[in-house]
């Protein structure tokens, strides 16, 4: 429902693609500013809220953590950001992505090795399960 002075939380959710509970959570942790309320006590959101929520959603899609997003938003909110600061945050995120890719490649190799040891027959013993129970199995 579109309210006279803005958007309801349901409409904000619909337009942004962000779940209502997630919007409330973002407000609770300070990623989204607390908004005004109607005479009936309903939250009322404006175009700035939609723009900010879209920024947060897109940043999350790109893998930025909520802490990283908070850092970006602090720069934006203070209108004191420089391209160099945003670049530094982005390069830090790129380094984290590369670390995750390396870890995923290692995990892929280990999982493939475990699966290769499995005959796939209907027997009670399974090398994959055994490997998962074996704390000494090398995942590194």
pLDDT in tens, 86-116: 888 889 989 999 999 999 999 898 888 888 8
HSE at residue 100, side-chain half, CA atoms within 13 A, is 8
Report the C-alpha gap between 90 and 61 in whole angstroms: 14
Report the C-alpha gap between 57 and 17 in whole angstroms: 8
Q: Give ∠ CA 99-102-103 in degrees, rounded to 5.
A: 85
Report the C-alpha gap between 113 and 130 in whole angstroms: 13
Domain locations along the chain: 1-64, 82-140
Fold classification of 1-64 is Multidrug-efflux Transporter Regulator; Chain: A; Domain 2 (1.10.1660)
Write down the pTM of the prediction: 0.69
What average pLDDT does range 118-134 have in this prediction? 76
pLDDT in tens, 27-81: 999 999 989 888 888 899 999 999 999 999 999 999 889 998 988 888 888 777 7
């Amino acid at each position: 429902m579109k309210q006279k002075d803005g958007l309801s939380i349901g409409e904000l959710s619909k337009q942004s693609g962000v779940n209502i509970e997630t919007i409330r959570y973002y407000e609770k942790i300070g990623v989204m500013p607390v908004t005004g309320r109607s005479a009936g006590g309903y939250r009322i959101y404006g175009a700035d809220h939609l723009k900010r929520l879209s920024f947060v959603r897109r940043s999350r899609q790109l893998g930025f953590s909520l802490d990283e997003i908070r850092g970006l938003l602090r720069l934006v909110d203070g209108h004191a950001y420089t391209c160099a600061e945003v670049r530094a945050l982005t390069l830090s995120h790129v380094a984290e992505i590369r670390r995750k890719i390396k870890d995923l490649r290692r995990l892929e190799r280990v999982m493939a090795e475990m699966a290769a040891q499995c005959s796939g027959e209907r027997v009670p013993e399974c090398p994959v399960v055994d490997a998962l129970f074996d704390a000494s199995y090398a995942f590194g």
